Amino acid sequence: MDLGVSLWAAFELSTLPQQVVNGLLLGAIYALIALGYTMVYGVLRLINFAHGEVFMLGAYTALFASWFLGYGKGSSLETSGPLNLMILLIASMCVCGIVGVAIERFAYRPMRSQPRIAALITAIGVSLLIQYGGALVLPIAPPPSINEKVNPYRGVVTMNLVGGDPQLLEGYEKAKIEFETTEKAWTEARASKQPDDVVRALRDKKNDADRTMGDLQRRMDNSGVKIRIPQGQLIMFGTTIVLMIMLTYLVMFTAVGRAMRAVSHDFDSASLMGINVGKIVTITFLIGSMLAGAGAMMNATFLGTPLTTFFGVMPGVKAFVAAVLGGIGNIPGAVLGGFLMGIAETAVIWAGYGQYKDAIAFIVLIVVLLFRPGGLLGSAKVEKV
Amino acid sequence: MSLLHLDKATIKFGGLIAVNEVSFEIKPGQLFGLIGPNGAGKTTCFNLITGVYKPTSGSIKFEGREISGTPSNKIAHLGIARTFQNIRLFGALSVLENVVVGGFLRHHTGLGSAIAYLPPAIKETDELKQEAMRLLEVVDLAHVANVRSRDLSYGMQRRLEIARAMATQPKLLLLDEPAAGMNPQEKMDLTGTVRRIRDEHDKTVLLIEHDMRFVMELCENIVVLDHGEEIAQGPPSEIRNDPKVIEAYLGEAV
Amino acid sequence: MKFFAVRAGSIALAVAACFALQSFAIGKGDLVFRLVFLAGLYVTLAVSLNLINGITGQFSIGHAAFYMVGAYGAGYTANNYAGSWGLKGPLLMLVLLLIGAVVAAVAGLVVGLPSLRLRGDYLAVVTLGFGEIIRIFVQNSPPLGGAYGLTVDAQFKFKYVWMVWLLAILCIAVCRNLLKTAHGLPFLAVREDEIASSAMGVNVTRVKVTAFVIGSAFAGAAGAMLANFDGFISPTSFPMELSFTILTMVVLGGTGSITGSALAGGVLFYIPEYLRDLKPVSGSSLVAAVIAVIAAVYVVKRIADHYHGDKGKRAALYLGTIIAGVVLQIILAAVFKNVPSLANANFEASKLRMVIFSSTLIILMLLRPQGVFAHHEFSWSWIQRLLGKKVPTTAVSV
């Protein structure tokens, strides 16, 4: 039975570096969201299904903040500056932090002494409630997106890894000079009011030169290996890395982080040792949700994705898979899993199976779990007998 | 012929040698004790015998047949049953049901017969229940047969573990600290129960215990482990006076 | 002899009841007819997932995948092969149903195998992932209709409400019989403690795979019924949320309780359908309702946690709280009528239904996390115990 799965793939080796970079950029966002899942799982052993919805609310917060700053539809304002971006980021992180803590306090805390599956159903309920309840009050049709003027960094950074063919380059340089001279001649002829047919002839000449130059430029571009990154995504990546470093510092070198690790290691013993477990859980939700908020704001602003209340579902699921892939409860694991997931997804698109990009996450996961049942960095706990 | 024969059984976890070349033989009908200080590798020995772990090297023979590396459930079918140090009952099931699970390995009706609720499966279920009730009487739990096992007291749970293991009709019964957490009276009763199991039900018993008096009184042969090594072996009278054992249990009246 | 007479009698009774239901439903119009049909499917789905999740304790959150596999298996076979079989009517449907079941059982086997090594949440993610993979592959498979869906040939459309309900009854009977005999105990034992089960000679692997295979076969059979009832299936008919809904039915009914799953399957399926037909709700009464519900839930939760008086008084307190909640809603709604921005906003009931569904879920979990039926089964002894008599508490009792 032919299920219509084509086995032909279109690999273009010269685009490999670009794809790797794309994968890393995508993976950084997954990693950022995955951290929220993994931290909550670490302390509570709960899959926080509502985390994707926190992410969605973060994106909406950024949208509202941008409206508040005057970047609504058909805004006549000039392109904004970095200050506005900071305002959006902080607004998103704060709102997400508050929402995350509220969800924990009112939905998960009462369930703490109950079987885990009951807490999980509550999490699913909260997730559905935010999706559908949000649809009642948030703008969804047509899906709004953040005005692109909010983002002042719309340029593209190009990095040449391997230069183009030197012959092409030489030809291009020549064609460029040719174009410049013909253009100059045409402009002068026009300015000095020469007869129409002369101007027209010069213009045709200039257009020919332009075409040749453009053609050569294209060929030259294709002959080299280069990476193009939109500035916005570069900022996104940088911010993500900075946030991860801050998180690592917090978890590894502060008293709160030590308490967090203790709670994650053994919930009951930690509370017996005088750690205020409730406070640590709150802080965990706060930090995890704030990270999601940062991811959401950057996603909505720099990628300009149209928002609906289901905006968080797919990133949420994939980030969750990333967390499990790395070993859920393990913070470096979530980062590793996120990057792997991003690279796997880009690789699939690159190989020409774009329609399977949502499936690859799970295929990778299943394959990894078959060999390492505890995820990549997690240890499958051997039960003491 | 020996019933169980460990020959230089060894297991390593990473760099740690938990059990190092332990050898002993148990003859049918013996009451055999396995003692040693905390962390000596006693429970690990049990786990090796029951197939929870596979030995790194060495052999374990049951009735002359190599069983190292055989899965736990197959070992249970061969005739070795155990109790657990940290009680592992099926908490949500009733006391009776726990014991029926133990007896179930001798079932002969198919799943189809059960799903269709046909007379053979019903009859078999009744038989297993009756048999389980008899075992509950042996350990004096018949009066709580329908109570959920997690609601039992600690001592009762330990006895239920024994009954559940007995239900598999093992040739060799492994008891992992059966007297832990019991008061002197309960321990006395337990001594009687274990003896009865051996004498009346014709079982061989290997038990781990911390309480020296309990072991010395009950067992006919004892192996002493310390830091994974076997340091002594023999009848209680010899063990009691062995200098190595006294050293291992420094300060403890043996 | 008496045994078989009783058995034959009860089977005949079940069949008769199913046909009676069919003739009742036909008279009520197409919509009700379909609802009765779907209710049967959901009961089957919930009870079959309960076998995997509640009884065997294998945390599967991808049950819709087996449903989907069964539906596509039956639909594809009907379109491409069934024409030449020369079968008609119920017999043909029965064969297609078996095909759906077998295809899904194979899928269950495939998913059950990795479950040998995986536990808890890891297994959950794999089952979820399996569902997504299947859905995406179907979406990209032209022979299966891709994203546009698969239209089942009109000659294979069977509106057999009776058969769905027989399937549901069969599913319930299989699970109940299993638990009534000693054969069910290994399943429960695996849920309770795998290591101890193994030490008692239970083949844990086999038990888990059996549960997956039986559970997914029933889901597949349900899928086959759906494909041939509607005559059209598409990947969007089997979203991830469907798996969550089925899981919710199992947990809300009381994990492990067949009675609970069956009832929750019917009721939870019906709530959103019922809410579809409501009139639009004004903003003022909606806000009032939200406040009243939160207040009532808070009070009920306080009572449940802190009041340990006798049952009758407690029930009275609950009742009082609920009445107070309703009164509060009415008063607040009247007050909010004066706020123009609220009174003029209208919310369509169709948009509210999922909100109400999810709120119900959260509230029920907060107030009764063990599920409505907890681990109880409907039986005479349970009713007697509710009425205060002392009778044995477990299924396999003396």
CB-based contact B96 C397, cutoff 8 Å: yes
Task: Report the gap between the CA of A84 and the closest CA in chain C (Å).
Answer: 31
In chain B, CATH 3.40.50.300 covers 1-79+170-183+202-254
Q: Identify from C110, C204, C365, C375 which residue to disrupt to test chain A contact, counting A C-beta atoms within 10 A and taking the largest count.
A: C365
DSSP H/E element including B65:
strand B65-66
Region of C57 on the Ramachandran plot (φ > 0 left; ψ -120 to 50 alpha; else beta): left
**Partners of residue B9 on adjacent β-strands:** B22
Task: Give the DSSP letter string of C55-104.
Answer: IS------HHHHHHHHHHHHHHHHHHTGGGS---HHHHHHHHHHHHHHHH
**Taking Cα atoms as reference points, which of C155, C72, C65 lies closest to residue C110?**
C65
- C187: nearest CA partner in chain B: B101
ipTM score of complex: 0.91
Residue C201 to residue B94, Cβ atoms within 8 A: no
Confidence of residue C396 (pLDDT cuts 50, 70, 90): very low
Instruction: Name the phi and psi angles at A13, rounded to 5.
Output: -60, -35
Indicate the residue of C180, C186, C199 with minimum beta-carbon distance to B50: C199
Report pLDDT for A303.
86
Q: How far apart are CA C18 and CA C24, in angstroms?
A: 10
The partner residue sitting opposite C354, judged by closest CB among A41, A111, A132, is: A132
Q: Rounded to an integer, what distance in angstroms lies between the CA atom of residue A299 and that of residue A57?
A: 12
Closest Cα of chain B to C111: distance in Å? 21
How much is the average pLDDT of B149-169?
A: 92
Q: What is the predicted pLDDT for the residue at A47?
A: 87
Q: What percent of chain C has pLDDT over 90?
A: 36
Say yes or no for a CB contact (<8 Å) between C132 and A362: yes
Phi-psi region of B34 (alpha: psi -120 to 50; beta: other; left: phi over 0): beta
> Which residues 79-108 of B have a C-beta within 8 angstroms of C?
81-82, 84, 88-94, 96-97, 100-105, 107
> Are C180 and B125 inside 8 Å of each other by CB?
yes
Give the C-alpha separation, A228 to B146, whole Å. Answer: 72
Is the pLDDT at C384 greater than 70, yes or no?
no
Residue B88 has pLDDT above 90, yes or no: yes
Residue C269 has pLDDT above 90, yes or no: no
Among C200, C375, C398, select the one facing B146 at the smallest CB separation.
Answer: C398
Instruction: Please give the pLDDT value at position A9.
Output: 42
The CATH code of the domain at B1-79+170-183+202-254 is 3.40.50.300
User: What is residue A374's three-state secondary structure?
Assistant: coil
Nearest CA-CA distance, residue B47 and chain A, Å: 8
- Cβ of C178 under 8 Å from any chain B Cβ? yes
**Domain-wise residue ranges, chain A:** 16-155+229-371, 166-223
**Cα(C364)–Cα(C341) distance, rounded to whole angstroms?**
32
Instruction: Please name the residues between 110 and 169 in chain B that touch chain C, using a CB distance below 8 Å.
Output: 111, 114-117, 119, 121-122, 124-125, 128-129, 133, 145-148, 164-165, 167-168
pLDDT(B201) > 70:
yes
The H or E element spanning position B26 is strand B16-26
pLDDT of residue A383: 62
Tell me which residue in C174, C177, C396 faces B100 most closely, judged by beta carbons: C396
pLDDT at C394: 46
Q: What is the pLDDT of residue B59?
A: 92
pLDDT given for residue C51 in this prediction: 95
Single-letter residue type at C100: G
C140, C347, C366 member nearest A136 (Cβ): C347
Question: So what's the pLDDT on residue C218?
Answer: 97
Instruction: Summarize pLDDT for C295-318 with one digit per residue, the tens.
Output: 998 888 888 888 777 778 888 888
C86 or C317, which is more confident: C317
- Closest CB to C137: pick one of A324, A359, A383: A359
C6 in contact with B at a CB cutoff of 8 Å?
no
- pLDDT band at C49, cuts 50/70/90? very high
Rounded Cα–Cα distance for residues B139 and C227 (Å): 56
Contact: C140, A5; criterion CB under 8 Å? yes
Contact partners of C by the rule of 3+ C-beta pairs under 8 A?
A: A, B
In C113-181, where does DSSP find H-type helix?
Answer: 120-139, 161-180
| Structure confidence at residue C356 (pLDDT) | 83
Alpha carbons within 13 A on the beta-carbon side of A322 = 34
Closest B-chain CA to C174: B115
- Say if CB A360 and CB A321 are below 8 A apart: no
Which residue in the set C200, C203, C204 is minimally distant from B164, CB to CB?
A: C200
Helix (H) / strand (E) containing C352: helix C349-367
With cut-offs at 50, 70 and 90, classify the pLDDT of residue B4. very high
Provide the token pair at A341: 């997931």
Q: pLDDT-derived band of residue C126, with 50, 70 and 90 as boundaries?
A: confident
CA distances from A54 to A187, A335, C79, C116, C241 (A): 58, 19, 44, 34, 18
Contact: B84, A384; criterion CB under 8 Å: no
Give a three-class secondary structure readout of A65-98.
Answer: HHHHCCCCCCCCCCCCCHHHHHHHHHHHHHHHHH
- The pTM of the full predicted model, rounded to 2 decimals, is 0.84
Mean pLDDT across chain B, nearest whole number?
A: 89
Taking CB atoms and an 8 Å limit, are C142 and A369 in contact across chains?
A: no
Contacts of C136 in chain A (CB under 8 A): 355-356, 358-359
Residue from the list C117, C132, C369 with its beta carbon closest to the beta carbon of A118 = C369
- At residue A13, the pLDDT reads 67
Q: In Å, how far is A384's CA from the nearest CA of chain B?
A: 9
Q: Which residues does chain A have with pLDDT short of 50?
A: 1-10
Q: Do B47 and A384 touch (CB under 8 A)?
A: no
Measured between beta carbons, the chain A residues lying within 8 angstroms of C301 are 110
Give the pLDDT of residue B38. 83
pLDDT-based confidence at C211, cuts 50/70/90? Answer: very high
Q: How confident is the model at residue C397 (pLDDT cuts 50, 70, 90)?
A: very low
Is C294 near chain A, with CB under 8 Å? Answer: no
Closest CA relative to residue C68, chosen from C136, C158, C148:
C136
Omega before residue B178 within 30° of 0, cis: no
**B chain contacts of residue C192, beta-carbon cutoff 8 Å:** 89-93
Q: 14-53 in B: which are within 8 Å (CB) of A? A: 43, 47, 52
- The structural architecture, per CATH, of the domain A16-155+229-371 is Orthogonal Bundle (1.10)
Phi, psi of B38 (to 5 degrees): -55, 140
